[in-house]
Each structure stands twice: as structure tokens, then as C-alpha cells.
Amino acid sequence: MTIADAERSVGSNTARSTATSEAVRRRTFAVISHPDAGKSTLTEALALHARVIQEAGAIHGKAGRKSTVSDWMDMEKARGISISSAALQFGYGGCVVNLLDTPGHADFSEDTYRVLAAVDCAVMLLDAAKGLEPQTMKLFDVCRHRGIPVLTVVNKWDRPGLEALELMDEIRERTGLEPTPLTWPVGIAGDFRGVLDRATGEFLRFTRTAGGATIAPEERVPAARAAVEEGEAWRTAVEESELLEAMGQVHEQSTFLGGITTPVLFGSAVLNFGVRQLLDTLLELAPPPGPRPDVEGTLRPLDRPFSAFVFKIQAGMDSAHRDRLAYVRVCSGVFERGTVVTHSATGRPFATKYAQQVFGRERETIDLAYPGDVVGLVNASALRVGDSLYVDEPVTFPPIPSFAPEHFAVCRAVDSGRYKQFRRGIEQLEQEGTVQVLRSDLRGDQAPVLAAVGPMQFEVAEHRMAGEFSAPVRLDRLDYSMARRTDRDWGKVLDRESGVEVLERTSDGALLALFAGNWRLARVQRDHPDAVLEPLVAASS
């Protein structure tokens, strides 16, 4: 061994132990909720507590405050939705917290699914007045499917809402998870005074600040004094907490990690009540990054050389940055900017000179990153969602499944003279996973079929084709609403059936048979009982 080799070997051993020790202090999570439950407000409040921002409103900026950072595209702004996802990293209590943003709208649930592939824990945010809403349930199903532990936060307790015990019943009945509240509200929804800390039996009294813009002061009050000062509200909280205990609703780490129980916290994001408890709970209970299984199920230990997978591609985020970012989650080793990594899908080298951390409009160069961290690789045009990257020791992580599309439209360039731009745009949108692209010889490449889980994806595609690729398009909706995967032989047979069309998905060459509806599919199945017609991953699985 030469001196240079020896030095390299010592260096890489140090890097490996650093990867493990840094992983232990990471918490990588996402907030899942129905739109309007308060996800943006909670993100603000978390950032405020972590002192990333001085005043709530700086990131997502509601009416009258600074413009939102998370809403990149004009369309997002106009519709008040956030389509793009990004990651917010901050230090808290000696740990590094990575909060991955997820789009709230159901039409972008595929994007959310990809983000959930990159987290170790999810926070399910409920509106106290509404309980479990459709999108919360859908996202919760994804978490269960992927084995992601879920923490629950009941938000908006400052407003009249359901009874706390009623909410617990709803969680149990509808998710199958046993709720194990860590705190219990003192004061009914609408009269939020603070929470009972079930671990210590103390009262945590919250005090409002003007507009909830700064951290709400919190006072820890012994039970005896709380009984005197809060009277009936305190007694009710204690009684209910004892009832929960009698029913066994007490936190246990193994059942939480095993997806059997969900710890519950009560709060008000807008008043910053309960936010510190959430951060502390994440640090204490959420699992740090662990070894990830590769495509064959073999775990990649944290201390192996660098590896990561792409969970999100984002392009054309705003006119000032017309570039393309591939967000990767680090799975093992240390990411060092400038290192040449290998792209597992092609075996080609990939330079990582431009690596950034992105949250909304804020971009910062990242020099080092550890397991659990998110790195935005700039102009990573060769990368697709699900791709793996590694150094030295090859690894391929499992692909992120694409959802079953339910909406289909033929896409044509308005100006046929701009066909080159049209091709480039369609290819780009397909690589990013904005829409799925289907083709057939019959339709030709000038008129591909775009497939989407939600129709708003079409709007994004249309908007970006015109704005970013200077190739305005016309979309003509097709009648199909279901897709099944078939093979070449059956593809030819099915394509001859009326109300059925077989197209090839350009991303993976899969043949998809499209049907106008359930009854059409049922008839084809009846006429061809042996036909290969595999369901695709449903949006809710």
C-alpha cells in the first residue's frame, strides 16, 4: 500500500464513521395532511422554533405578508396551491431536522408518494374540527404501505372542534392505528389553555403572542397548582388521560415504529402552541436514518460509501433559475460536493460540482451531506426519478412505482414548426414524472397521449410546455379512465377490441391497455379470461 493509498483509506474510514454518527442525529420527515389543515403554517412554526426564521410568515407568507417561497410557478400562485416540493433543513437540540415539503393537492399525490419514499417518519396533521379527511387517509395509506411510522398532530385546537376523545376514536376506527396521546388538551377546542404532559403529569400553559408571529411562551405548572388555577378544565383533562391509560393508550416505541400505534400531540400551528413538543417528540421518538434495502432487499449499511436515490426532479422553478434539479436522498456514506459518483442505471460517471439545498427561493451550496439529507443536484439531465447514485460499491435502490393514471389526453403542438421544442418538452416532463407519456405507431410521435393521476397535472404540463419550452400545446381529453398492464401478444388482441386502446409507456416500455370504464374492462375480461391485465399501483395504495 502506498502512502497515498493509506491516507485515502484512513480518510474513508473517518468518512464512514462520520456517516454513522451524523445519521444518528438526523430526523427526516414529511407532513401529510388534507389541504387547509395547516401544513404551511406548521412548517413556518417549526422553522420559527428552530430559529431559521425570525417571524412566522417569512416562508410561506400568507396574505399581506412576504410572497411565498414554496410556490414557484405562476400557476401555483394563482391557484394558491403548492405543487413543487422542497426540503427545509435546520438544527434543533443538537440534531439536524430535514422537513420534506409535500404538495397538498390530491392531483399531485404521485409527487407526495415519491417524497414519502425519502422520509423515515411522517407527521399526520389533522384539523381538530374536521378530523380525518380524504387526502389525509390517502396519504396515510401510503405511509402504512411503506411502513413509515406516523406521528399525529391535532391542529387548530384554538378553534371550536370535535371532542378530543371522539377524535381518538376516529383515528382508531379509520386508520387502524391505536392513538397514544403524549399530551392531552386542557380546555375544550376553542378554549385552548395548554396541555397535560402525560409523561410527567404537569400542565404546560401556553400564552398567546400577537398574531402568533413569535414563539409562544410556555410555562410548566405542577399538577397541584394547575388544579387550583385551571379548575374544571384541568380535572377533565386528568380524568380523560386516566381513561386513556386504562385503555392502554400509552406510548410504546416498538409499536410506534412497527406501525401499530401513533403518538398524538395537540396544538395550534397558527398560535405556535404545541410546536416545541412536536420538535422534541421528533428528536426523541422519530427513527434516525437506517440502512436502506436495495432492489434485491439487501440492506446498504450507513457506513458504506456514498449512495443515494432520486426522489424528485424539478425544473423551471422560476424564471431566475431555469435549470433542472434532481433531489436525492442520501442513503449511506458522506456526500462530498465535487465527487464523481456513478449513475447506476447507465454506469456513467456523474459530476456533483453543483449541489444545492433548496427551500423555496432560497438556494445554498451544499458541500457535505449525510444519510437522511436531501441534496439538489443542478442540471442533472441524465437522472430520472428512482435512479440510484453511488461511489465505489454499486447499489441500485428499488424503483419508486408510478401510479395508475386515470386521466388521458392527446397532446399536440399548436405550432407544428416548433416540433423540436415540443419533443424536448414532452421528454423533459416525462423524465420529471410530471405526467406519464404513452405512444403508439398509430398515433405517431407528434401526438403522444399524456396520462395523469389528477387532471391538474395536465394544467401543469400545458403551462410548462408554453412557458418553458416555447411549445404551446393543445390537449384533447380521451374517454379512458382505467389502465392495465399487458404484454405484446395480448396487446395486439386487445387493441382490436372496441373501447380499448393499447399504448406503450415511454419511460419503461410497459404496454398499457386503456379502458373507457369498469364495465368495458369487465367485458374484455369475460371475453378473454386469459388476457394479461395487471393492475397498476393505485393512487391510494
Question: Could you give the CA distance from residue 226 to residue 206 in angstroms, rounded to a whole number?
Answer: 13
Element at 250 (helix H, strand E) = none
User: Partners of 197 in the beta sheet?
Assistant: 183, 202
Kindly state whether residue 62 participates in binding ligand G4P, applying the rule CB under 6 A.
Answer: yes
Kindly state whether residue 406 participates in binding ligand G4P, applying the rule CB under 6 A.
Answer: no
Residue (40 or 486) nearer to ligand G4P, CB: 40
C-alpha cell at 408: 388521458
Instruction: Name the one range near ligand G4P by CB under 6 A: 35-43, 182-190, 203-211, 337-345.
Output: 35-43
Residue (38 or 179) nearer to ligand G4P, CB: 38
Kindly state whether residue 111 participates in binding ligand G4P, applying the rule CB under 6 A.
Answer: no
Residue (45 or 503) nearer to ligand G4P, CB: 45
Question: Could you give the CA distance from residue 19 to residue 333 in angstroms, rounded to a whole number?
Answer: 5
Instruction: Name the one range near ligand G4P by CB under 6 A: 195-203, 264-272, 316-324, 507-515.
Output: 264-272
159: nearest Cα among 239, 269, 65, 46 = 269
Cell numbers 376553542 correspond to: 190
183: nearest Cα among 232, 215, 213, 220 = 220
Instruction: Name the one range near ligand G4P by CB under 6 A: 29-37, 166-174, 244-252, 302-310.
Output: 29-37
Kindly state whether residue 268 participates in binding ligand G4P, applying the rule CB under 6 A.
Answer: yes
Closest approach, Cβ 132 to ligand G4P, in A, equals 14
Kindly state whether residue 130 participates in binding ligand G4P, applying the rule CB under 6 A.
Answer: no
Residue (43 or 428) nearer to ligand G4P, CB: 43
**Cα angle for residues 219, 196, 36 (degrees, 5° grid):** 90
Kindly state whether residue 38 participates in binding ligand G4P, applying the rule CB under 6 A.
Answer: yes
C-alpha cell at 184: 392531552
Question: Could you give the CA distance from residue 152 to residue 130 in angstroms, rounded to a whole number?
Answer: 14
Element at 238 (helix H, strand E) = helix 232-246
Kindly state whether residue 41 participates in binding ligand G4P, applying the rule CB under 6 A.
Answer: yes
Q: Please report, for residues 36, 60, 83, 147, 465, the alpha-carbon distance to residue 74 in angstroms, rounded to integers and kept in the order given.
A: 20, 15, 11, 36, 14
Q: List Cβ neighbours of 159 (8 Å cut-off, separation of 6 or more).
A: 128, 129, 189, 190
Closest approach, Cβ 270 to ligand G4P, in A, equals 4
Closest approach, Cβ 80 to ligand G4P, in A, equals 8
Closest approach, Cβ 316 to ligand G4P, in A, equals 23
Closest approach, Cβ 208 to ligand G4P, in A, equals 11
Q: Please report, for residues 68, 70, 229, 253, 493, the alpha-carbon distance to residue 40 in angstroms, rounded to integers and kept in the order given.
A: 10, 9, 34, 28, 50
Closest approach, Cβ 286 to ligand G4P, in A, equals 20
Cell numbers 395509506 correspond to: 141
Instruction: Name the one range near ligand G4P by CB under 6 A: 37-45, 193-201, 409-417, 518-526.
Output: 37-45
- The secondary structure of residue 399, as a DSSP letter, is P
DSSP SS3 for 205: strand
Cell numbers 398499457 correspond to: 512
Kindly state whether residue 228 participates in binding ligand G4P, applying the rule CB under 6 A.
Answer: no
Residue (139 or 409) nearer to ligand G4P, CB: 139
Biggest alpha carbon–alpha carbon distance for the chain = 79
Kindly state whether residue 33 participates in binding ligand G4P, applying the rule CB under 6 A.
Answer: yes
Residue (28 or 82) nearer to ligand G4P, CB: 82
226: nearest Cα among 200, 249, 254, 264 = 200
Question: Could you give the CA distance from residue 445 to residue 443 in angstroms, rounded to a whole number?
Answer: 7
Instruction: Name the one range near ligand G4P by CB under 6 A: 22-30, 265-273, 382-390, 489-497.
Output: 265-273
Question: Could you give the CA distance from residue 232 to residue 186 in angstroms, rounded to a whole number?
Answer: 9
Question: Could you give the CA distance from residue 538 to residue 403 in angstroms, rounded to a whole number?
Answer: 6
Interaction residues for ligand G4P, span 86-105 (CB under 6 A)? 104
- Alpha carbon dihedral 313, 318, 319, 325, in 10-degree steps, equals -20
Closest approach, Cβ 501 to ligand G4P, in A, equals 37
DSSP SS3 for 56: coil
Q: What one-letter code names the amino acid at 376?
A: G
Q: List Cβ neighbours of 254 (8 Å cut-off, separation of 6 or more).
A: none
Count of residues that bind ligand G4P according to CB under 6 A: 18
Instruction: Name the one range near ligand G4P by CB under 6 A: 241-249, 263-271, 306-314, 471-479.
Output: 263-271
Q: What are phi and psi of 484, to 5 degrees?
A: -130, 145
Residue (264 or 385) nearer to ligand G4P, CB: 264
CB atoms within 10 A of CB 13: 11
Kindly state whether residue 36 participates in binding ligand G4P, applying the rule CB under 6 A.
Answer: yes
Interaction residues for ligand G4P, span 147-176 (CB under 6 A)? 155-156, 158-159
Closest approach, Cβ 59 to ligand G4P, in A, equals 11
Closest approach, Cβ 374 to ligand G4P, in A, equals 20
270, 325, 375, 471: residue in contact with ligand G4P (rule CB under 6 A):
270
Kindly state whether residue 133 participates in binding ligand G4P, applying the rule CB under 6 A.
Answer: no
Kindly state whether residue 48 participates in binding ligand G4P, applying the rule CB under 6 A.
Answer: no
1, 3, 63, 320: residue in contact with ligand G4P (rule CB under 6 A):
63
59, 238, 269, 366: residue in contact with ligand G4P (rule CB under 6 A):
269
28, 40, 175, 180: residue in contact with ligand G4P (rule CB under 6 A):
40
- The secondary structure of residue 131, as a DSSP letter, is B
Helix spans in 37-108 (H):
39-49, 74-79
Closest approach, Cβ 102 to ligand G4P, in A, equals 10
39, 384, 484, 520: residue in contact with ligand G4P (rule CB under 6 A):
39
Closest approach, Cβ 78 to ligand G4P, in A, equals 15
**Where on the chain is the footprint of ligand G4P (CB under 6 A)?**
33, 35-41, 62-63, 104, 155-156, 158-159, 268-270
